[in-house]
Amino acid sequence: MEIQELTLDEWAAVAERKRLGVFHMPDVLSVIDDHTDAEMRLLGGFDGKQLVGMLPLFLHKYPGVRLALSPPPAVNMSRMGPVVMINSPKLRKQERLNQEFTEAVLNELDRYKGIMLYYMILDTTYTDPRPYRWAGFRFEPRYTYQLDLRDRGADEVIAGFSRNLRWEIQNFDDHSVEVSLGGVGDALRVYDDTKARFAEQGAKFPVSRAFTRDLISTLDDSARVYTATGPDGEYLGGITVLYSDTTAYFWLGGTRANYQNQSVNSFLHWQIIQDILSDPTLESVERYDLGRAAVKRLGRYKSKFNPELVPYYEIKSSRLIDLAKEAYKLVSY
């Protein structure tokens, strides 16, 4: 296995042929690179001439130690890590190439002087993290909720919702609440709303306003901002969604908001789902990712949509990374 450094253009050429998730899209990586002081390295693993794996890494250098991160902090990207593209149907070959790619990446990064600490949160499509455990890493499962929308109509989807959620959505139709698509200005309104909610809870929101602006501007049609307004035009709430070819991702917003004692977010999510089901430009989108399932209170709410609980994995090089995360305020995870 040979590791080669890929340019962003080379990465983009692969992305055109493969159905990469939004967190691996070249436009997303480009904006992240512009807004972080880390060194971005796009690594490709070649089995002969065949590209079988890719990994975006962001290297932070501190005295005597480097942090290899994927995703980096302060960008609200919940997952990243390696992408494997192994065409063989044989499990033995899949496992061999996955392990060889992992080992080759670690050997490549061992060339740096000093201590190298790793922290990665893998995508849901990367389902075999065992090579990292065999290499001495720790990994722990995480979970997200994903709603499968393949070959389904709106009536079938809403029939799977909890009774209370169905009533809440249908009740909004009687309240003249309007959901509309907005632009960068609306994305910043959703950002400000989210940041304010964090402040109310005594927490700092790590994502910058400039990053949000540049990401939404760059992604263009691969990002949509949904805002809800009341009968008098007052802003009630909003959600920003990012799209890959196959999946819509709830990225930002959705702060707690009620209108006449009904959840605005439920109505927003339903409008997003209906667009995925009916908009021809979103025909390839098969799933709606409702986001992390770690918080018990939020999990109870998201489970009302009858999604699937989908695992993904957190990779750590050692217990030292916990100290490094605290010291360097890697709070976006």
The full set of domains in the chain, from first to last, is: 2-137+317-327 (3.40.630.30), 145-311 (3.40.630.30)
For residue 90, give the DSSP letter. Answer: -
> Residue 248 forms beta bridges with which residues?
243, 288
* Helix, strand, coil percent content, the chain, rounded in steps of 5: 40, 30, 30
**Cis status, amide bond into 71, omega within 30 of 0:** yes
Residue 192 has pLDDT above 60, yes or no: yes
Q: To the nearest whole percent, how much of the chain has pLDDT over 90?
A: 76
Tell me how far apart the alpha carbons of residues 79 and 71 are, in angstroms, rounded to a whole number.
6
Q: Identify which has the larger pLDDT, 325 or 243.
A: 243
Tell me how far apart the alpha carbons of residues 84 and 235 are, in angstroms, rounded to a whole number.
43
pLDDT at residue number 19 = 85
pLDDT at residue number 323 = 54
Residue 48 has pLDDT above 70, yes or no: yes
- Work out the average pLDDT over 242-271: 92
pLDDT tens per residue across span 203-235: 999 999 999 999 999 999 999 999 999 888 899
Which of 134, 132, 128, 140 shows the shortest CA–CA distance to 68? 132
Confidence (pTM): 0.91
